[in-house]
Amino acid sequence: MHNEKKCCEHYAKLIAKLETYEQYRKFAAYRDRILALSNDSLEKTIAIAVSLCLVCAVLVSMAAVALKPMQVDNKAFDMKKNILDVAGLLNADTDVPAAFAKQIEAKLVDMETGNYVDKLDVDTYDQRKAAKDPAQSIEIPKKKDIASIKRKAKIAKVYLVKEGDTIKSIILPVHGYGLWSTMYGFLALNADGQTVQSINFYDQAETPGLGGEVVNPHWRALWKDKKIYAESGDVALGLIKGNVDPTKADSAYKVDGLAGATLTSAGVTNLIRYWMSNEGFAPYLAKVRTGGKS
Ligand SMILES: Cc1cc2nc3c(=O)[nH]c(=O)nc-3n(C[C@H](O)[C@H](O)[C@H](O)COP(=O)(O)O)c2cc1C
């Protein structure tokens, strides 16, 4: 019985080999026939073009698969660099992974309650992906969607810079539509949840020299020490057309608009207003201010 089974397996393998050989023989015959055709023949032109496409597709797919882990690493490295940058902890000689591990603490926040969440893995949680997943996000009603982002993740990933137990910076992810693109960035605040340390936009496709000036270090420097909430509690921070007059009472809440880019500037104001409101991080910031006792 055992020998019979072995014999069957052996023949099955042999037949498979023969079939493979037969297929190869047919392919070789077809290849020789095509190569023997005149270079001007339609059949040869199409066959060569199709073969070339197949070979290139295989090469590109192999490269994409082989490079994927490197791309993921580079993306993570870049994100750490952006976070260190907005926290004011990035110099030319900074060892990014080491500085990030030592000085930055990532936390997940429930957007509705403002409480920290620990049921998910903070290292692997991707807020941008979550915002696109109906199970992990909520649709923003049109009337409230001032940043034009349609959906928001139920859980946000924030970053803290701490010295011992004392919070030095709160780094919040923000995004909103400009003129041509959704602009993704980070806003760094003091522990008071009211004073801006810095802002940076790491992913946007506004016009270089116009809306693209959101990445200009001189413009970014104008945000330092600006205040977010007016005494009424409303979000007062935003861009104005032209330059801020420092003698005006509301100058602490205003930042120069981007020249020739009124629409991108409005987009930046809108995203700040959205993410700093009760729809965004206001519940979380209230908890940070009171040490989680509110
Ligand atoms: C090629 C081109 C690219 C533009 N890119 C932007 C842009 O990135 N952001 C922006 O707000 N306006 C951009 N604008 C200008 C807008 O169309 C619009 O005129 C401008 O926002 C109005 O600003 P202003 O009132 O300061 O002139 C662009 C215009 C052109 C012709």
Q: Is 213 in the pocket of ligand 1 (CB under 6 A)?
A: no
CB within 8 Å of 292: residues ≥ 6 apart:
115
Give residue 45's identity as a one-letter amino acid code: T
Closest atom of ligand 1 to CA, residue 207: 8
Interval between CA 177 and ligand 1 midpoint (Å):
14
Place of tokens 């009472």: 249
Length of the chain: 294
Domain that holds residue 202: 81-290
Residues 6+ apart with CB under 8 A from 66: none
For residue 173, is pLDDT > 60?
A: yes
Q: Name the closest-CA residue to atom 25, ligand 1.
A: 262
pLDDT tens by residue, 75-116: 999 999 999 999 999 999 999 999 999 999 999 999 999 999
Instruction: Give the model's confidence band at 18: pLDDT under 50 very low, under 70 low, under 90 confident, else very high.
Output: confident
Q: Which of these three, 70, 102, 122, is where a domain ends?
A: 70
CA–CA distance, 102 with 253 (Å, rounded to integer): 33
Which atom of ligand 1 lies nearest, measured to the CA of 260? Answer: 26
Residue 249 · residue 227 · CB < 8 Å: no
> Is the C-beta atom of 257 inside 6 A of ligand 1?
no
**Residues 118 and 135: beta-carbon distance below 8 Å:** no
Query: How many Å apart are CA 61 and CA 127, to the nearest integer?
Result: 28
**Atom 7 (ligand 1) nearest CA:** 211
pLDDT tens across 106-154, in order? 999 999 999 999 999 999 999 999 999 999 999 999 999 999 999 999 9
Say yes or no: 16 and 106 in one domain. no
pLDDT at position 5 is 75
Percent of the chain with pLDDT over 90: 87
Shared domain for 65 and 88, answered yes or no, is: no
Q: Report the SS3 class of residue 128.
A: helix
Give yes or no for residue 207 CB within 6 A of ligand 1: yes
In a domain, residue 88? The reply is yes
The pLDDT score that the predictor gives to residue 1 is: 58
Q: Which residue has the higher pLDDT, 163 or 291?
A: 163
Q: What is the DSSP string of 221-269?
A: HTTTT-B-B-TTSSB--EEESS---TTSTTGGGEEEPPTT-HHHHHHHH
Measured distance between the N- and C-terminal CA atoms of the chain, rounded to whole angstroms: 77
Whether 65 and 86 map to the same domain: the answer is: no
Q: Is 211 in the pocket of ligand 1 (CB under 6 A)?
A: yes
Interval 39-72: pLDDT, tens: 999 999 999 999 999 999 999 999 999 999 899 8
Q: Are 230 and 243 in contact (CB under 8 A)?
A: no
Q: For residue 105, how far is its CA from the centre of ligand 1 (angstroms)?
A: 38
* pLDDT attached to residue 2: 65
> 293 pLDDT exceeds 60?
no
Instruction: Answer yes or no: do 109 and 10 share one domain.
Output: no
In the chain, what percentage of residues exceed pLDDT 70?
Answer: 98
Judge if 188 and 164 occupy the same domain. Answer: yes
How many structural domains are present in the chain?
A: 2
Atom of ligand 1 nearest to the CA of 266: 11
Residue 267 main-chain phi, psi, to 5 deg: -60, -40
Burial of 106 (0-12, 13-18, 19+ CB in 10 A): middle
Instruction: Give nearest CA residue, ligand 1 atom 24.
Output: 260
Of 70, 91, 108, the residue at which a domain comes to its end is 70
Assigned domain for 76 exists: no
Rounded CA-CA distance 106/118 in Å is 11
Structure confidence by residue, pLDDT tens digits, 195-240: 999 999 999 999 999 999 999 999 999 999 999 999 999 999 999 9
pLDDT exceeds 60 at position 294: no
* Pocket residue to mutate for ligand 1, from 179, 183, 239, 264, most atoms within 8 A of Cβ: 179
